[in-house]
Structure 1
Amino acid sequence: MGASFVFCSDPLDPRRVDPHFAREAQAVRDAGGRVCLVDHDALLAGDAAGAVARVPRDAGPVRYRGWMVPSAGYAALAGALAARGAALLTSPDAYRRAHELPGWYEVFEAVTPRSVWLPAEPGRAPAPQELAAAVAPLGGGPAVVKDYVKSRKHEWREACWVPELSDTRALSRVVERFVELQEDHLAGGVVVRAFEPFTDGGEARVWWADGEPVLVTAHPDTPGARPDPGPALDALRPLVAALGCPFVTTDTALRTDGVWRVVEVGDGQVSGLPGSADPEGLIKSLMQNATGQYSSAHAAWRADFAARTAAR
């Protein structure tokens, strides 16, 4: 039996894969892999053991491909799978590091918009004076608001865009609305990022398995607009290696001055594959890199990065 993948099940029929991931599951089967099912709704409800009840015992190393899970929920998923003899190739620590901006920001700081963040609980926005102190290192100018994982860019004017950071009242108003709209889904806290202008249609998602780029796609929001040529991957390879996570995505965008920037890093297990992309190549690459280990070169890159950051 080939590598095993854990997919979200269909909420209307728990015996089959969620239709959103059906193409990927078929690619796994075509490549000789095993498809297992997890109940995403049960997982979010706190019933991790019930969520994995359909996963065969002693499935061995597995990759998750499904809807986003909060970091605490992913840790619960890992524990429930381990109890059934299945080991997620991405550990809970690695998942959090790639999934949440505070985990990946330092590694990618030179190639991503400047950012600050404040921990916050659902329904409780930071006070205006806290926000003013937090954003001081960014100076003035426009910015965008998000949480540790996602923004509300579709409510751009009311819950994302801040025209001028020195206007604390406006900043606080946007943050409060963002926290209100996120409700219980607020992830970690509030992030404020310096605004950088990007070209229309100039965004590409790069998929990395064990530190190597295995696929470049459009962003799911613009599936028919993959830029060609895309970002220079050699510049990103040592950064992905330094992050030290087995399966990640980097969302890159072309700034209006012609410079490619990383706008988001994510855990590849919960990153959306655009409908315009053929999943076969991605699945085969993941099956070939099913060890969760890095080469000696990647280990050297990570050790060098750790030494440089420790010396700051």
Structure 2
Amino acid sequence: MRIVFCNDDLMPRSVDSSYKDESVAASEAGFAFELIDFSALRNGDAEASARFVEVTSELETAIYRGWMLTPNEYKGMHDALCRRNIRLITSPDEYLHCHWLPNSYSAIAGHTPRSIWMQSASTSWDMKAINDLVKQFGTAPVIVKDYVKSRKHEWNEACFIPNASDAEKVAQVVNRFIELQDDDLQGGLVFREFVKFEPIGVHPKSGMPLTLEFRLFVVDGSVISGAPYWEGQEGTVEPPITHFENLLRNVRSRFFTCDVARTMDGNWMIVELGDAQVSGLPARCHPMDFYDALATRTSKL
């Protein structure tokens, strides 16, 4: 097992500075690592992106730890590494399964906020169709996002809709979201029921509500790490590592994250799944602890 990190634009033979601490921890935990040229990958040249990776004599499994990729970019990297006898732990189909919320929704439905979606428009968005879709929520509050990301740090401007039946507000927030996402909008629009989770504060810049939330990293159905999602999250509450144990075993991916939050009545809900290769380590998840746990788990496979 080895790790594939993004390189640094200015020093192509070095790890991107944002992943430097992880690369040190990975090495100390016993992992060899390779470098992928992220800029070449984003420019559509997957073969050039893998130019620093030598062909191995035997097939090896690897984990990518780097910036978020579109499904096509991920497939390009996956295939370029396969040509060098390195197979990423997550196939392109598995990456898409956890990376795009509609693809994994059926696996977590009933344990996550109710969600509905529509695919990206080929030309322009039909706001009447959007309002007709959102009417399913009645007068309840909802949030809008694409298949991958929200604009949660523009909470009131491009994320939160206080009343799903307010057509004018829906159009205002959705249009602003589409404008801000621009070419980064993936898949389409997702509308999610706004659930009141246990509050721990308000983001000082965006006004977004901060809630009691944890990020779980899962390898082959077993949680190897659980840490507070928010940097300032204090208290003695432990992450619900065993709460969704059976459900997580049935997710169609070998390596993924599961963000969970506690509701006002004390129950736990899944916020969303994600591909763990492109999910950041929370501030209170020390890289050394993470890679030691990853090494322990993968050594048993």
Work out whether the TM-score is over 0.5.
yes
From 198, 217, 220, the counterpart of 1:210: 220
Deviation at 1:101, TM superposition (A): 0.4
Question: Equivalent residue of 2:243, what SS?
Answer: helix
CA contact (8 A) 2:226 2:241 kept: no
CA deviations 1:58-115 (Å, max 9, x no partner) are: 2721110011111111111111111121111110111111111011111111111111
Q: Aligned pair count?
A: 288
User: What is the alpha-carbon root mean square deviation over aligned residues?
Assistant: 1.9
Counterpart of 1:140 in structure 2 is: 139
Alignment of 1:130-209 (within 5 A): 130-198=129-197, 199-200=199-200, 201-209=211-219
Alignment of 1:41-80 (within 5 A): 41-58=39-56, 60-80=60-80
- Residues 5 and 33 of structure 1 are in contact (CA less than 8 Å); yes or no, is this contact kept in structure 2? yes
The percentage of aligned residue pairs carrying the same residue is 37
Give the letter aligned to residue 290 of structure 2: L
Structure with higher helix content? 1
Residue in 1 that maps onto 2:246: 238
- Closer, same or farther in 2 for the Cα pair 1:95/1:252, shift >3 Å? same
Please point out which of 253, 263, 277 is paired with 1:269. Answer: 277
Q: Give the partner amino acid of 2:8.
A: D
Compared with structure 1, are the counterparts of its residues 228 and 267 closer, same or farther at alpha carbon in structure 2 (3 Å cutoff)?
farther
Contact 2:257 / 2:276 at 8 angstroms: preserved in 1?
yes
Instruction: Work out the CA distance in 1 between the residues paired with 2:217 and 2:137.
Output: 30
What does residue 203 of structure 2 align with?
A: none
CA distance in 1, matches of 2:48, 2:221: 33
* Preserved contact between residue 204 and residue 226 of structure 1 (Cα < 8 Å): no
Q: What is the rounded CA distance, in whole Å, between the counterparts of 2:223 and 2:141 in structure 1?
A: 33
Q: 1:61 to 1:53 in 2, by over 3 A?
A: same
Secondary structure in 1 matching 2:108: helix
Matched with 2:3 is 5
CA distance in 2, matches of 1:266, 1:283: 18
1:164 Cα deviation (Å)? 0.8
1:309 aligned partner: none
Q: Any unmatched runs of 5+ in structure 1?
A: 294-312
CA distance, structure 2, for counterparts of residue 290 and residue 233 of structure 1? 19
**Cα distance in 2 between the residues matched to 1:87 and 1:285:** 21
Contact 2:215 2:282 in 1 (8 A): no
- Alignment-mate amino acid for residue 73 of structure 2: G
Cα offset for 1:125?
A: 5.5
Deviation at 1:33, TM superposition (A): 1.5
TM-score after normalising by structure 2? 0.90
Contact (CA 8 Å) 2:90, 2:254: kept in 1 or not? yes
SS at match of 1:156: helix
Residue 225 of structure 1, CA deviation: 1.1
- Distance in 1 (alpha carbons) for counterparts of 2:23 and 2:69: 19
Does structure 2 retain, via aligned residues, the 8 Å contact 1:140–1:164? yes
Alpha carbons 2:224, 2:297 under 8 Å: kept: no
User: 1:308 maps to which residue?
Assistant: none
Preserved CA contact (<8 Å) 2:3 2:64: yes
Query: AA paired with 2:10?
Result: L
Alignment of 1:213-292 (within 5 A): 213-219=223-229, 222-225=230-233, 228-290=236-298
8 Å contact kept, 1:7–1:36: yes
Matched residue type, 2:25: A
Q: What is the CA–CA distance in structure 2 between the aligned matches of 1:157 and 1:18, rounded to whole Å? A: 33
Report the equivalent of 1:32. Answer: 30
Kept after mapping to 1: 8 A contact 2:61/2:89: yes
Residue 144 of structure 1: SS of its match in structure 2? strand
1:119/1:157 CA distance change after superposition, 3 Å: same
1:284 is displaced (CA, Å) by: 2.7
Q: Give the Cα–Cα distance (whole angstroms) in 2 for the partners of residues 11 and 165 of structure 1.
A: 44
5+ residue gaps, structure 2, are: 201-210
- What is the distance in 2 between the residues matched to 1:52 and 1:120? 31
Per-residue CA deviation, residues 129-185 of structure 1 (Å, 9 max, x unaligned), is 211232233332111110011100111122111111111222122111111110110
